[in-house]
Structure 1
Amino acid sequence: MTTRTTLAAAAALTALATGSAGCSSTGETAARQAAERFYAAVAGGQGERACALLTPEAAESLRTGDGTCGQAVLALGLPGGEVTGAQVWGDEAQVRLARDTVFLHRFAQGWLVRGAGCRPRGDLPYDCEVEG
């Protein structure tokens, strides 16, 4: 399954889950915090730290030629913003920020970002600057 297909499935699950009310779960809180740490590193110009918070595939997708992941993630100018919501289903999460949507996956060491700089495209999969 491709990342775009997976992100589309995650978005569909999120849309279904959005209709149900409830309190923030521990998983949602941890996913929010992971997204906030990622954007704090980006905003602070700490590219390598931001890359350490990405899935290995997402970090690899940013490495090009002589450039490092850290240089590439900072060059994207990811918008971020305040967290406005989070949804968790199993080991997948979506965190919505004021100017961005982030997708995460839960690993043994915690939540890692697998999609950032994501914008919805109607019925199509999200279009993400960072994918993995």
Structure 2
Amino acid sequence: MGIRATAVVCLALVAPALIVTGCASADDASVAATAQRFLSAAGQGRGGQACLLLTPEAARSLDDCEKQIVSVGLRTGAVRGVEVWGDEARVRVDGDTLFLHRFPDGWRVRAAGCEPRPDQPYECEVET
């Protein structure tokens, strides 16, 4: 096999991996940005903006979303980790964990203010 054929074979094998990696990085950045916008809005008392970043179910779970989302005490922090599984994601920030879902128009927060519990699901201040 010549050098040109070897290069084509290598490119054919490497290109799909680069595409998958590129998508994961784009998803991670988009998820992290949505989480940060949500936490920033909630922490700065902009409940209306924070509620727009919730899934419809999460927003409906709060009696008065704009007031309750501010009273929960969510604050922005440094992103410590992002994990994406298809249309679901988890973002860990200083002192908080958020869960997000991908919709056709982008990522939305479905749970926030979440604390891990040993051998049990997370306990969240805001959730669907």
TM-score over 0.5 for the alignment?
Answer: yes
Superposition CA RMSD, Å = 1.4
Aligned residue in 1 for 2:30? 30
Aligned residue in 1 for 2:96? 100
* CA drift at 1:119: 0.3
* 1:118 has 2:114 as partner: yes
Distance in 1 (CA, whole Å) between partners of 2:84 and 2:119 is 21
Aligned residue in 2 for 1:3? none
* 1:74 has 2:70 as partner: yes
Larger radius of gyration: 2
Aligned residue in 1 for 2:46? 46
- Normalization by structure 1: what TM-score? 0.77
Contact 1:103-1:115 within 8 A present in 2 as well: yes
Contact 1:80-1:99 within 8 A present in 2 as well: no
* 1:88 has 2:84 as partner: yes
* CA drift at 1:109: 0.7
5+ residue gaps, structure 1, are 1-21
1:109 to 97, 105, 119: 105
2:59 partner letter: A
Give aligned pairs, total.
Answer: 107
- Normalization by structure 2: what TM-score? 0.79
1:55-96 C-alpha deviation (Å, 9 max, x unpaired)? 001001112xxxx21001001112442111100010000000
Give the structure, 1 or 2, with the largest relative contact order (CA under 8 Å, sep 6 or more).
1
5+ residue gaps, structure 2, are 1-20
State the percentage of identical aligned residues: 51
